[in-house]
Amino acid sequence: MELDRKTIIVTGASSGIGAAAALLFASEGANVVLGARRKEELDQLVGQIVQSNGKAACLPGDVTDETYAGSLMDFAQDRFGTVDGAFNNAGVMGDMGPVSQMDRANWDAVIAANLTSAFYAAKAQIPFFAEKRSGAIVFTSSFVGYSNGGMPGMAAYAASKAGMIGLVQALAAEHASDGVRINAILPGGTKTPMAGEDPNTHDFVANLHPIKRLADPREIAQSALYLLSDRASFVTGAPMIVDGGMSVRLL
């Protein structure tokens, strides 16, 4: 049991990678505290975990609200006594298109949901982990933030995910001596609601990957599990690429 009796916060947990991670972490012994905007989906996921003899609770909210990050920490401590790690996974794609045609509202919304929310999460989580001198934090970035060659129309998303990598590396350097490990996973194309429903689009994106398929969300969740577990005890500041070879093709 990789996360036995550990309490882990998961944001963006109502679907996709976040939901897969919540199920996986619970199966590995964690008490999972789920955050997302959609209460009904969170309640259903909590019920699914509890029916499988896992432990879960949820607190709906918006990661772009700074107070929500603190509320999640308080809620997790009240419910399970402590917090041992966090998978800050929530994010949005935003509208795609060239920067010259992008409106400010779209830019601001993507940066807020993907990057500023990561800043809020770090501010809420790190002091607690630093005080107890242990904790692991994983953020969901993207291969698009690492190597965006050949992916036009994704400037806001790419900027937010690249900024997240920089944030993670700075945080890791600042808090390694406090016993806090901070890493990021960089998924490739994954079968999530963000990928849409068009099978032609799925096929197109899948064929961009050398592995010639999209990832299952559970595959990405496995990478987050590793970074949150004690097996990654010497890993911090790492942008862990989990992209089916996509970044190799682009480089």
Closest CA to 189 of 210, 159, 167: 210
Give the type of residue at 191.
K
Query: Is there a domain that residue 128 lies in?
Result: yes
Tell me, what DSSP letter sits at residue 93? Answer: -
Dump pLDDT digits (tens) for 22-40. Answer: 999 999 999 999 999 999 9
Query: Is there a domain that residue 207 lies in?
Result: yes
Closest CA to 35 of 4, 14, 6: 14
Please give the distance of CA 34 from its chain centroid, rounded to a whole number: 12
- The CA R_g of the chain, rounded to the nearest whole Å, is 17
| pLDDT (0 to 100) of residue 75 | 98
Query: Is there a domain that residue 2 lies in?
Result: no
Coil, strand, or helix at residue 218?
Answer: helix
Query: Is there a domain that residue 152 lies in?
Result: yes
Burial of 237 (0-12, 13-18, 19+ CB in 10 A): middle
Residues of the chain with pLDDT under 70: 148-150, 194-196, 250-251
| Structure-block tokens of residue 138 | 């994983």
Is the separation of the CB atoms in 140 and 12 below 8 Å? yes
Query: How many domains does the structure of the chain reveal?
Result: 1
Query: Is there a domain that residue 158 lies in?
Result: yes
In sequence order, the β-bridge partners of residue 184 are: 139, 239
User: How are beta strands 55-58 and 180-187 bridged, if at all?
Assistant: unpaired
Distance CA(204)–CA(15), nearest Å, equals: 23
| pLDDT (0 to 100) of residue 242 | 95
Active centre residues (catalytic): 157
Query: Which residues contact residue 112 at a Cβ distance below 8 angstroms, ignoring those fewer than 6 apart?
Result: 64
Q: Is the pTM of this model over 0.85?
A: yes
Please give the distance of CA 77 from its chain centroid, rounded to a whole number: 20
Tell me, what DSSP letter sits at residue 167? Answer: H
Query: Is there a domain that residue 175 lies in?
Result: yes
| pLDDT (0 to 100) of residue 250 | 61
Distance CA(152)–CA(217), nearest Å, equals: 24
Distance CA(49)–CA(47), nearest Å, equals: 5
Query: Is there a domain that residue 222 lies in?
Result: yes
| pLDDT (0 to 100) of residue 165 | 97
In sequence order, the β-bridge partners of residue 239 are: 184
| pLDDT (0 to 100) of residue 251 | 56
| pLDDT (0 to 100) of residue 211 | 84
| pLDDT (0 to 100) of residue 200 | 77
Closest CA to 114 of 184, 179, 22, 39: 184
Query: Is there a domain that residue 1 lies in?
Result: no
**The 135-140 sheet, strands edge to edge:** 55-58, 31-35, 7-11, 85-88, 135-140, 180-187, 239-242
Residue 51 is part of a domain; what is its CATH number?
A: 3.40.50.720
Structural domain that includes position 228? 7-250
Distance CA(7)–CA(14), nearest Å, equals: 18
